[in-house]
Amino acid sequence: MFNEERHFDQPIRWAMVGGGRGSQIGYSHRNAAQRDGLFKLVAGAFDLDPARCRDFGENLGLDGDRCYANYKEMFEQEAQREDGIQAVSIATPNSTHYEICKAALEANLHVVCEKPITFTTEEAEELKTIAAQNNRVIGVMYGYSGFPMVQQAREMVQRGDLGEVRVINMQFAHGFHNEEYELNDPGLKWRVSPEVSGPTYVLGDIGTHAFYLCEVMTGLEVDRLSCMRQSFIKSRTPLEDNAHVMMEFKGGAVGTLWASAVNAGSMHQQKIRIVGSKASLEWWDEQPNQLRYEIQGEPPRILERGMGYLHQDAPGVAANRVGGGHAEGYFESWANLYHRFALAFDAADRDDQAALADIWFPGIDAGIEGVRLCEKCVESADQNAAWVDYE
Ligand code: NAD
C-alpha cells in the first residue's frame, strides 16, 4: 500500500513545459507528480502566452520569476540557480516534443514526455542516446500502464496462466470527434493538423496507448503489420480519424488494433483481450479495478484489485492507495507511474544502475515503439494496406 511517507530528503525540484490553463492534460501531470511528495513544482513555461503563463503559475503558488516565457529561458535561468530544477515534464502539442526533450536532456534534466514522443524513430533514438550519455532518464506518459490490474495481467501471462498467447485484440475507440468539432476546439484542431500532430491522428493519439498495454501485458514483439486508415471527416485528410491494424507477432500470435475517434456513442472503449491456448484475459480502462479471467470450460471470473489472490509480489500489482472494493482510477494510475519515475530519477542521480534497471516504468524504449507503430502504419496504409515488416 502506498502512503505519503518521505522517500527522499527533499522532493525532486520539478517544472513543466506546456500544460497551462485550459490544457487537457496539465492537471493530470501536476496531480500525479505531487501526489506522494516526491516531486515539487517550482517552475514552469506552461503556455505560449508569457503573461498567461505567469498568471497561471502564480495561481498555482509559484514565484512569478520562475514562470518563464519559454522553455529555453527556463532551462538557462534555472541552471544558474543553486536550487534550480532537476526534472521537467513536457505536455505540449506533439510537434514540439523532440526539440524540448532534447534541450532538457542537454540541460542535464530528467524528463517525463508526452506521447507520441517524436515524429520519427530516428529522433526518438537520438533522444535515447543523449539521455544515456548524460545519465538522464526519460519517462513516457503511457498513463494507463500504472493500473495494478494491468500489471496483474502481465504477471499472469508471464507465468503461463493463459497457456500460449494466440490472439490479442486491442482497441481505443471513442466517439468524441464524430463531427468536425475542431472548428471550435483548438485542442482538436492541432490533433488533425499534420504539422503539429505528426504523421497520424488517432493512431498516435490513442492507438499507442492500447498498443503499449499489449507490449506490457504480453511482452510480444510485432513481426509485421497491415494498416488501413481513413478520415470520415474529410477535412482531416491526410490524417485518420479511424484505423484498423492487423499484426503478426514474433512467435506466431496474431492481433488487431482498432483506433478511432468516430465510434459514435462510445466513451473510451479502450479494451485489450488476450487469448491464450487455455484461457483469456480482458481489461477495460472504464472498469480498471477489474480483470476478467476466462478459463475454457469454466465460468468466467472477475479478479478484483487489492485482493490477496493476486500476484501481490509482482511489480506494480500491490500499488494500492486504498483497499480493494474502493474504486481507484486514472489519477492513481498516473500517480503510480510518477512514483516510479521519481525512484528512477533518484537511482540515476545516485548512479545506481542496478536499482535503475530494477524499476519498471514506461521509458524511452516504449516511446520509440509508439513512434515506430505510427511510422509503420502509415507506410502500410500508403500502400493500400500492404503488409510491412516492423523492424
Ligand atoms: P492542449 O492543446 O490542450 O494544451 C497544450 C498546452 O501547451 C497549452 O497550455 C499551450 O499553451 C501549451 N503550449 C503549446 N506549445 C507550447 C510551447 N512551445 N511551450 C510552452 N507551452 C506550450 O494539449 P493537450 O491535449 O494537453 O496535449 C498535450 C500533449 O499531451 C500532447 O502531446 C498529447 O498527445 C498528450 N496527451 C496525452 C494524454 C495521455 O493520456 N498521456 C492525454 C491527453 C494528451
Q: Where are the domains of the chain?
A: 12-144+337-362, 145-322+369-389
Q: What percentage of the chain has pLDDT greater than the value 70?
A: 100
List the chain residues with pLDDT less than 50: none
pLDDT reported for residue 76: 98
pLDDT reported for residue 9: 87
For ligand 1, whether the C-beta of 143 sits within 6 Å is yes
Take atom 31 of ligand 1 and give the residue whose Cα is closest: 93
Strands (E), 76-180: 87-91, 110-113, 138-140, 165-173
Distance between Cα 18 and ligand 1 center (Å)? 6
pLDDT reported for residue 321: 94
**Locus of grid cell 520509440:** 368
The verdict on pTM exceeding 0.90 is yes
Cα 49 to Cα 71: distance, rounded to the nearest angstrom? 12
- Does ipTM come in above 0.95? yes
Q: Which CATH superfamily is domain 145-322+369-389 in?
A: Dihydrodipicolinate Reductase; domain 2 (3.30.360.10)
Q: How is the beta sheet containing 87-91 ordered, strand by strand?
A: 39-45, 12-18, 87-91, 110-113, 138-140
For ligand 1, whether the C-beta of 325 sits within 6 Å is no
pLDDT reported for residue 391: 83
**Locus of grid cell 474529410:** 234
Distance between Cα 193 and ligand 1 center (Å)? 14
pLDDT reported for residue 311: 97
pLDDT reported for residue 230: 98
* CATH match for 12-144+337-362 among 3.40.50.1260, 3.40.50.1820, 3.40.50.10710, 3.40.50.720: 3.40.50.720
pLDDT reported for residue 57: 98
Of 166, 145, 152, the closest CA to residue 302 belongs to 152
Take atom 40 of ligand 1 and give the residue whose Cα is closest: 143
